[in-house]
Amino acid sequence: MTTVSSPLAGRAIGLAAVPDPVFSGAMVGPGTAIDPVRESTVAVSPVDGVIVSLHPHAFVVVDDEGHGVLTHLGIDTVQLNGEGFELLVSKGDTVSRGQEVVRWNPAAVEEAGKSPVCPVVALEATVEALGEVTESGEIEAGGTLFTWK
């Protein structure tokens, strides 16, 4: 079983509340979302594993069991072309849960007209594969978002 931790501090809101139909419809996979605190912050790895995909606005970590977890920093933030995002690791790096991956500023994303809401998705999973999913309430970086059975 894999425990997926929150990559950010903020408020859990669930995927259904994400302002993007690809995420809210769980087309990428099941999971939840975080409405992050607005000060400049660092997104951390939600699991121990290897960074298999890394962009300023999103990253995927695959754990030892082969589970891929996508952290997407904001909605439509790919359109910012990396502006305001600083990569702190490289693709192929082995990371530990809680290790800093990307520095960014959710308030600046919001000022640029984009949503700072961050989906955290279990890639290639079914809803049934996940244990209890946190979809409401305040959460700290490192708090449990869901388990992957």
- Is residue 23 included in any domain, yes or no? yes
- Is residue 91 included in any domain, yes or no? yes
- Is residue 61 included in any domain, yes or no? yes
pLDDT at 149 over 90: no
Judging by DSSP bridges, how do beta strands 144-148 and 31-36 pair with one another? unpaired
55 counts as catalytic: no
> CA 59 to CA 70: how far, in whole Å?
6
Write down the pLDDT at residue 40.
Answer: 81
Query: Any idea what the CATH number is for the domain that residue 54 is in?
Result: 2.70.70.10
pLDDT tens readout for residues 51-93: 999 999 999 999 999 999 999 999 999 999 999 999 999 999 9
Tally of structural domains, the chain: 1
- Is residue 149 included in any domain, yes or no? no
Percent of residues in the chain assigned helix, strand, coil, to nearest 5: 15, 40, 50
pLDDT tens readout for residues 86-128: 999 999 999 999 999 999 999 999 999 999 999 999 999 999 9
Selecting among 55, 57, 67, 72, the annotated active-site residue is 72
Whole-model pTM over 0.75? yes
- Is residue 7 included in any domain, yes or no? yes
Residue 16 domain boundaries: 2-141
- Is residue 146 included in any domain, yes or no? no
